Amino acid sequence: MSEGLPDAKADTIEVREVDTLWTIPNLFTLLRLLCLPLFVWLLFGPENRQAAAWLLGALGATDWVDGYLARRLGQTSEFGKKFDPTVDRLLFLVAIVAIMIDGSMPIWFGVAVLFREILVGGAVAIATVFFGMERFDVTWWGKTATFLLMFAVPGFLMGQSSIPIADAFTVAAWVLGIPGLILSYYTGVMYIPMIRDSIASGRAKRT
């Protein structure tokens, strides 16, 4: 709730939607997307793993900002609801592939993360486009798994940099990465009945 505003007005701000694409939250999401080429350049151009890791960590840490801005400014939009998670997934997938190519992440770990993301993302996309699935919110466990992996991935990269405490980052990456990977597959299984129910709900509304 925003300071100085009564609860009723705050609730109104949170649910109001706008029709335009050019909102502050969407521009912030676009800015995060434009950082992706910079990340790839830092990693393969000057081969500055430390700078690339810090940038990737910053992108992960600001994942919540666009959603907060949309609610706080009353600029929620249907486009933003799709644009934000799409950019998040693209940043995540490209970062993992790039770090695997760089050799800073174990191949098996990267493949396991990619397989889950492609499997679940593909299932959601197919269910939405071809079966009219209604959009559903990510579970708390799903958000937790994403949070752990978002910091584990740059941790592997930092662990292969030249900083004195590189080994500590590698340990932290494993401490965060293994639970995050397990949780991600657990939530993937949890999404199966949610997808089924959302498809049934979409069909019921159309009929």
- From 133, 172, 144, 141, select the one nearest 156 (Cα to Cα): 172
Give 125-148 pLDDT, tens digit per residue. 888 878 888 877 778 898 899 889
- Identify whether the C-beta of residue 162 lies closer than 8 Å to the C-beta of residue 50: yes
Please list the helix, strand and coil fractions of the chain in percent, rounded to the nearest 5, in that order: 80, 0, 20
159 or 7: whose pLDDT is higher?
159
DSSP state of 165: T
**pLDDT (tens digit, 9 = 90+) per residue, 94-130?**
999 999 999 999 999 999 999 999 998 888 888 887 8
Q: Is the pLDDT of residue 10 over 50?
A: no
Average pLDDT over residues 181-204: 89
- pLDDT one-digit tens code per residue, 56-89: 999 988 888 888 888 888 888 778 777 888 888 8
Q: What is the pTM of this model?
A: 0.80
Query: pLDDT digits over 38-47, tens only?
Result: 999 999 999 9
13 contacts 74 by C-beta, under 8 angstroms: yes
| Alpha carbon of residue 47 to chain centroid | 25
Query: Angle CA(110)–CA(51)–CA(106) in degrees, nearest 5?
Result: 20
For the chain, the structural domain boundaries read: 21-205
Which pLDDT score is estimated for 133?
82
Residue 9: its pLDDT value, please?
A: 38
In the CATH scheme, what is the code of domain 21-205? 1.20.120
First to last CA, the chain: 38
**Sign of the CA dihedral running 177, 178, 184, 190:** negative
